[in-house]
Structure 1
Amino acid sequence: MSGDPRELLVLGGTIRPHASHPTAEAMLIRDDRIVAVGTETDCRSWALGDVDVLDVDGGTVLAGFVDAHCHPLMFGQFNAWVDCSWEAAPAIDDVVAALTTRAAHGTGPVRGKGFHHGNVVEQRMLTRHDLDRVAQDREVLVFHSSGHGAIVNSWALSSMGVTADTVDPPGGHFGREADGTPDGTVWDAAADWLTGHHGVKITNNGPNFHLPDDPATLDAQLCAAQAELHAHGITTIVDAQVTGREFGAYLRTKQAGTLTMRAEMLVISSLLTELENLGICGRFGDDQLAIAGVKLYADGALTAGTARFSRPYCCSVDDFGYLYHPNGELAELISRVATLGLQAATHAQGDAAIQLVLDAHQSLGSRADARHRIEHFGAPTPGQVAQCRELGLWPITQPQYLLRYGDELAGVLGDRAQRLTPLGEIRDAGAPVVLSSDAPVCPPRPLEAVTAAVDRRTLTGERLGAGPQCLTLVEAWQAHTLHAAASVHREHAIGSLEAGKFADFVVLDQDPLHTDIESLVDVDVEATWVGGRQVYDRHASTKGLSA
């Protein structure tokens, strides 16, 4: 009968229900849920009748990864632009050449992504003068790898109405030449100028990377990002900055049946009044798509040099970074989020910004198991790590920063770089350890993130905080699965392979927990399943599936 449940028996390899638990030989799935994990005999005894069999051919089955902080639509949109990362364009002339090639194939805006000043040969920022070499009759825009700003050409500055007389907005600034003329760099809250007169505006509530596109294009970009997430074994994401642009894309793709991942949304705080007016009172949605909390910002970005510290950056005597909100405003916003029963998820990188967030939660008092979050928690002091644990806050980290940007950060932060993303201290304090990618700032590759958490190696091979700040492989794996799920109250449904949980799993070609850390990134994702349905197959077939 068409209404009969579909049952699938997974076997033929190693089943790892949980990173720290003994292995099993089989797993039975009924519709979208796991029914049993154990021996093949035990699992077959739970079956209602005939079962389909998935033979994983010696592979290892683990819970799907949860990326607890990323930006899927931004990632998908950026991937349609020119790749200006140091891997693709190691020098500024290479960036200009790549953009010029794109400009020759059309008359519209020319956009690039992934440029990082600390990783190009010249060791400097792009300017409008560089981009004027690409085109002077239309917009040329390159987003910085941090996602907290962009570089535009002179035409774009003129179109935006930005001049030497333009006042920097609270929580952002325009880079300037010696005489005050804008140099083409647009940072943090100033990025509101990038979205045009009718685009998304978020004022000093965060960096505005929400560039417009028509709905069909946005939906396609989200689905393209989703495909790459699945290819790396990711089954659930936390979208860490949702405006109406992202919300619409999620709703449309869900209705169309093309949304296959699970998405927990953190709505940007510029929409907090709208959430209050709607009467939201706690997590709102279903098991696939839900509003989990509100995203707030305390400071800028480490990789852009705008995170707020109590000591200046090493390259300056008076550059401490900056804050998004004036005194008291951030604490008020956090209090309003807590009143709604939602998670406050506050971006804080520098120690001065982290202290503002801790103080806000200290004055707020505690609500049982609220699990408010500090996004990034990049450079806390030891005392702040302890206070984070005492307040029950969840730090959401991105160890790939160490790999991809650690060399440059060591130069601008000095001795503080050894304690960036202090995973060992967080663990030892008894706070939960959670890993994520912050894609597109770093690629959504959990195996790379786990490696970085264990190894803490930079691109040049230096190990930042090696030893005391390193996680074990099992700890790092849990941080990207079960702990990441728990960071949005979803550990009862996802994050491990247990009876009653959703059948969200990944098949790897070898057991990662028996793999040398140097080789972990070479482990292949063979297949990814969400809710008992295959959403990725490395061989683009249903290999191993039989009646």
Structure 2
Amino acid sequence: MKVFINAQIISPTVELPVGADAIAVKDGIISAIGKSAELSAGATEIIDLKGAVLLPGFVDPHAHPLMYGQMMDWVDVGPSKAKNITQIIEILKREEAALPAGVPLRAFGYEHRNLEEGRHPTKEDIDQISTTREIYVMNASGHGGAVNTLVLEKSAITAKTPDPKGGAFERDASGNPTGVIWDAACDILTGDAGVKVTNHGPNFHLPDTQSVLTKQFLQAQHEFIRHGVTSVGDAQVSQREFDTYKDAKKNGALKVRYSMYLISSQVGHAKKLSQDAAIDNTMLTANGIKMYADGTLGGWTAYFPEGYKADKNRTGQLYHDAQEFESIFLDCATQGYHIATHAQSPTAIGMVISSARAMRNKEIKSVNGAFPIVRIEHCGLPQEKQSHELHDLEIIAVNQPIHHHNWGDGVVTAVGNEIGERFNPLGEFVKNGVSFALSSDAPVGKPNPFEAMAAAMDRLTVHGTELGANDLKIDARTALIAHTMGGAKALGKADLIGSIEVGKYADFAVVDANPLAAGPAAMRAITVLATYLGGQRSF
């Protein structure tokens, strides 16, 4: 029996024994919680934490680990690297010169409203880097970006090419493609034999050899671990991600517990994948489906039928009409899958609410006699009346505070103050009893729970703007619960993770300060000293 002693144990959803400063672990499970002197007596190994704070391992229920790993290998043109399109071009010219012939150039991280030009790069901009090498510069949202002329020509994209359902090729005044592509249009990036998502979501599943993909995944996994994250929900899994998890597991390299949400375009194959021998429901779970209702606030493709305040000709898009969406939703529910849906605008959120209500009216209790878990991913701009419906229908909101931190000013510009300043209304969720979780959406945000919690507490943007009224903020305790037990509930694993309790996995983050006593600035400064999975140190 391994015993952790002299710890300051913090687990706000449970009542710990009086004076408890030690945890006993047997076979990867918490077997006892008590005082150091008492539990040490039966120990075969003692870990002295010397007064450090021990928290439940953080749960990040919405991230894209393999995509994150790929972005770590791509060229960073985010705001810390490039303030304008000219600088993006300069950076990519240097990188292009060092690449072997025939290798595509890929970059990530620009946010057009944070660029001095206030626009996306176009194919003319990207052509300045190369006209003989395929180039893709992904927007920070992950839902699209800019390509050069060569990419468009290889896929025969012209002014006569219609926009795909659930996607768009942006066009100039003459109708010619500008090189900016969104959502389902990104299918052109994966080649003839690559993953195709069609109108089921954005396609970021760019191909590579399995050894490269696994390497990229593992470097991303390390980032989660070093920030104290022990459980992750992969919020868009294709065969590419599935094979990568299997490869890493085969080699004993999984150091985080993963719950996979298969993209809804793969629902026909979901049963076969979920029955694969690699799915052990300890390190790998595959019982969820990821759906998309609308696009991204970051790229102005979230759906506002009345038009964006900053551009009445732009409405964004829905991936499915309401009838098709509900049909897919109910089919997934009937098959016993939990359902996580990307929805940002009130219209898109309303589609999920309507479908969840239909599921309950039809009594589709397909998961061990209970309703499937219904989640709304991002849930950025719900109307307050919708938050009451989320509560009534037991829908879990999975929010990413780093979104309003990075994009808040741009969202206010896009949709106006009245709507935009409500971005991620977590305080309202608390008031109305909505269950919610915090997450990173990595690579859109770094998988640092302390940054996410601080952003939820102060609601400050990168430009120093404070979004909305104080009652939309949450306190440190609520934020910590949302990034531990809130995430556990979203993944359907509240009985296994998310708190320090006897019988749960011994998944811990050991840190240098008590987050419950921290304001936003102090929260951001907290450092992870060690991470344990099943009682074994992983960082």
Name the TM tier (shorter chain). Answer: over 0.9
1:68-467 matches, cutoff 5 A = 68-106=61-99, 107=101, 108-275=103-270, 285-365=280-360, 366=363, 367=365, 368-414=370-416, 415-467=418-470
1:518 and 2:495 aligned: no
2: CA distance between counterparts of 1:137 and 1:99? 14
Paired residue type of 1:472: D
Give 3-state SS (helix, strand or coil) of 1:419's partner. coil
Q: Indicate if the aligned counterparts of 1:149 and 1:185 stay in contact, CA closer than 8 A.
A: yes
Q: Quick one: which of 4, 12, 28 aligns to 1:18?
A: 12
> How many equivalent pairs are there?
526
Q: Indicate if the aligned counterparts of 2:24 and 2:30 stay in contact, CA closer than 8 A.
A: yes
2: CA distance between counterparts of 1:452 and 1:505? 23
* Cα distance per residue 1:477-507 (max 9 Å; x no partner): 0000011011111011111111111111011
- The 1:476/1:21 distance shift into structure 2, 3 A limit, reads farther
2: CA distance between counterparts of 1:91 and 1:310? 31
Give 3-state SS (helix, strand or coil) of 2:241's partner. helix
Equivalent position of 2:23 in the other structure: 27
Equivalent position of 1:544 in the other structure: none
Once the 2 structures are TM-superposed, how far is the Cα of residue 96 of structure 1 from its aligned partner? 0.9
2: CA distance between counterparts of 1:161 and 1:197? 13
1: CA distance between counterparts of 2:454 and 2:515? 11
Equivalent position of 2:54 in the other structure: 61
* Cα distance per residue 1:252-298 (max 9 Å; x no partner): 101110111000000000111122577979x9642110113100011
* Cα distance per residue 1:410-432 (max 9 Å; x no partner): 11121211211111121222121
Once the 2 structures are TM-superposed, how far is the Cα of residue 60 of structure 1 from its aligned partner? 0.6
Q: Quick one: which of 494, 509, 512 aligns to 1:491?
A: 494
Equivalent position of 1:541 in the other structure: none
Paired residue type of 1:39: K
Q: Indicate if the aligned counterparts of 1:114 and 1:145 stay in contact, CA closer than 8 A.
A: yes
2: CA distance between counterparts of 1:444 and 1:216? 24
Paired residue type of 2:34: G
Q: Indicate if the aligned counterparts of 1:18 and 1:497 stay in contact, CA closer than 8 A.
A: no
2: CA distance between counterparts of 1:182 and 1:456? 37
Equivalent position of 2:536 in the other structure: 533
* Cα distance per residue 1:356-411 (max 9 Å; x no partner): 11112222225335221111111111111111111111111111111111111111
Once the 2 structures are TM-superposed, how far is the Cα of residue 43 of structure 1 from its aligned partner? 2.1
Q: Indicate if the aligned counterparts of 2:394 and 2:435 stay in contact, CA closer than 8 A.
A: no
Identity percentage of aligned residues: 38
Paired residue type of 1:407: D
Equivalent position of 1:4 in the other structure: none
* Cα distance per residue 1:91-118 (max 9 Å; x no partner): 2111111111111111211110111101
Q: Indicate if the aligned counterparts of 2:511 and 2:527 stay in contact, CA closer than 8 A.
A: yes
Q: TM-score, normalised by structure 1?
A: 0.93
Q: Indicate if the aligned counterparts of 1:19 and 1:474 stay in contact, CA closer than 8 A.
A: no
1: CA distance between counterparts of 2:313 and 2:271? 40
- The 1:377/1:52 distance shift into structure 2, 3 A limit, reads same
2: CA distance between counterparts of 1:298 and 1:340? 20
2: CA distance between counterparts of 1:196 and 1:231? 35
Give 3-state SS (helix, strand or coil) of 1:361's partner. helix
Larger mean Cα displacement after TM superposition, 413-422 or 223-232: 413-422
2: CA distance between counterparts of 1:319 and 1:153? 23
Structure 2 regions of 5+ residues with no counterpart? none
* Cα distance per residue 1:74-96 (max 9 Å; x no partner): 00001100001011112211111
- The 1:516/1:357 distance shift into structure 2, 3 A limit, reads closer
Paired residue type of 2:398: I
Q: TM-score, normalised by structure 2?
A: 0.94
Q: Indicate if the aligned counterparts of 1:265 and 1:291 stay in contact, CA closer than 8 A.
A: yes
Give 3-state SS (helix, strand or coil) of 2:503's partner. coil
Once the 2 structures are TM-superposed, how far is the Cα of residue 465 of structure 1 from its aligned partner? 2.2
- The 1:458/1:19 distance shift into structure 2, 3 A limit, reads farther
- The 1:21/1:126 distance shift into structure 2, 3 A limit, reads farther
Give 3-state SS (helix, strand or coil) of 1:443's partner. coil
